[in-house]
Structure 1
Amino acid sequence: MRASDVAYQRLRDDIIEWNLEPGSLLGEIETAQRLGVSRTPVREALSRLMAEGLVSSGTGRTAMVSLVSLSDVKRLFEYRVALETQAARLAASRRDPAVFERLRERFLEAPRTTSPGSVRSRRPSTERPYSLADELDDAIDAATDNPYLVRALRDLRGHLARYRRHARTNPARLDDATKEHLIIVEAILSGDGTLASQATAVHLHRSLENILATVPALRRQQAETEKQLVSAAD
């Protein structure tokens, strides 16, 4: 693996896992020393992360981890709904049934992370459903048979990656999301494009609500916005 790929993956992981907080400065010299590579691979990695929206230009020529914005995440979800509902609709008419039948069986076997009176389960049991969700994304992408739509979806997922990762801290949402994914799989299996599209829209609406409730910076921005609206109405 090239040094620039190593630098890119490590920085991306740190940003998505929130080890690097929004606004963290990413000076080339300091970052290169921390990663144990030269400045050129770091420069290339930062360029790729800027294209994904995870890094932005800071003061002077210094890069920084992009700030999180309530308005930005809502706009990203507007775009996401448009793309993913269409992808689900196309997948329902172009899918390989065997692929989605296997996914259906695996979602039915996915472990629950919560039950009445239970506490949050350990992390390994929560990772499998999210891995299945990624596999569902890949299966839908392949079924659309539309490289332009797939390219747009993958670019969008890069922008949303750290929001989605932080939202995994809610185990109750994980169980609900697994059920929602199962409905989408079954709609695609049945060839019902309308139901697949509508089920995807519902899932994304609930995903956005969870992100707004679990990402601290967004939760603060949401509360401030609601406070301003109340004040304006008085």
Structure 2
Amino acid sequence: MGDVNFKNRGELVFETLKQEILDLKLEPGRLISENDICERFGVSRTPVRDALRLLQEQGFVETIPYRGTYVTLLSLDNIKQMIYMRVAVETMVLRDFLEVRTPMVMEEIRHAIAMQKALIQTPGFEPEQFYRMDAQMHSLWFTAVRRQKLWDMLQAQQLHYTRFRMLDFITETDFTRIIGEHEDLFERICSRDLSGLEESLKDHLYYSMKRMRRSIEVDYRDYFEEEPEEGRFVI
């Protein structure tokens, strides 16, 4: 019985720290103190070290000899390639979706957008709530064309892309604009405007990279790995 509890404690530390890294509550480059974690969770060093080892294996933290364990920095190149891949994949999915859409799933999309509007009118809402609602809406057309595994693969790219999207939402104050883009996508789906839909999706997914240029270069510079001069902001 003790082994089960021990394992659960280690898993709890791992899952909690991983989610806090994804939500940017533990920022890129942040030093993680074993002592602090032991005290916070009321556990010994062994489950904490096991959790940190798993986080390191998955790329969420790195241990620098004689310095300590740090949350890994974001790779802008990785993020750019993920956006490129998502645009390519989601464009194909939406193309298929126009052929199989049903009144039921269209109503689900309409409802998802309505829920986003309701959320941003709620005092003190958290950016991660909006992030999850946004992701849930996009997943609807993947599910409708039986490409849920593709969506899951895109979502699994958490180390850099998910954290970048969270940073996007944390620094975004105009959530109404994002919802407006969702409404535009919905209208183009309704009118079966394929070329307009593909252009809107591309603008929607790339907008954050353009909007956050100053944040990436100045305000949150310490969150990102140093990038080769020739590779900067080529999207």
- TM above 0.5, yes or no, is yes
- The farther-off stretch of 179-188 and 33-42 is 33-42
What whole-Å deviation, never above 9, does each CA across 1:13-60 have from its counterpart, x for those lacking one?
322343322222446665444333455654564466456643345337
Q: RMSD of the alignment, in Å?
A: 4.1
Kindly state the Cα deviation for residue 161 of structure 1 after the two structures are TM-superposed: 2.2
2:25 aligns with: 19
Instruction: Find runs of 4+ consecutive structure 1 residues off by over 6 angstroms.
Output: 125-128
Kindly state the Cα deviation for residue 217 of structure 1 after the two structures are TM-superposed: 2.6
1:152 aligns with: 153
Given the two structures, how large is their TM-score scaled by the length of structure 1? 0.69
Out of 87, 98, 109, the residue aligned to residue 103 of structure 1 is 109
Given the two structures, how large is their TM-score scaled by the length of structure 2? 0.69
1:181 aligns with: 182
Kindly state the Cα deviation for residue 67 of structure 1 after the two structures are TM-superposed: 0.9
Name structure 2 gaps, 5 residues minimum.
Answer: none
Name structure 1 gaps, 5 residues minimum.
Answer: 115-120, 230-234
Give, as a single letter, the amino acid of the residue that structure 2 aligns with 1:76. Answer: M
Distance verdict in 2 for CA 1:220–1:129, change over 3 Å: closer
Percentage identity across paired residues of the two chains? 27
1:117 aligns with: none
CA distance in 1, matches of 2:188, 2:71: 39
| Native 8 Å contact 2:78 2:161 kept in 1 | no
CA distance in 1, matches of 2:24, 2:120: 22
Counterparts of residues 36-185 of structure 1 (less than 5 Å): 36-38=42-44, 41-42=47-48, 45-46=51-52, 49-50=55-56, 53-59=59-65, 63-108=69-114, 110=117, 122-124=123-125, 129-157=130-158, 159-168=160-169, 169-172=171-174, 174-185=175-186
Count the aligned residue pairs. 221
CA distance in 2, matches of 1:219, 1:30: 23
| Native 8 Å contact 2:139 2:148 kept in 1 | no
What whole-Å deviation, never above 9, does each CA across 1:76-103 have from its counterpart, x for those lacking one?
3223322333333333334443123232
| Native 8 Å contact 1:92 1:196 kept in 2 | no
| Native 8 Å contact 2:95 2:194 kept in 1 | yes
- The farther-off stretch of 154-163 and 55-64 is 55-64
CA distance in 2, matches of 1:57, 1:189: 51
| Native 8 Å contact 1:184 1:196 kept in 2 | yes
Kindly state the Cα deviation for residue 203 of structure 1 after the two structures are TM-superposed: 0.1
Give, as a single letter, the amino acid of the residue that structure 2 aligns with 1:140. Answer: W
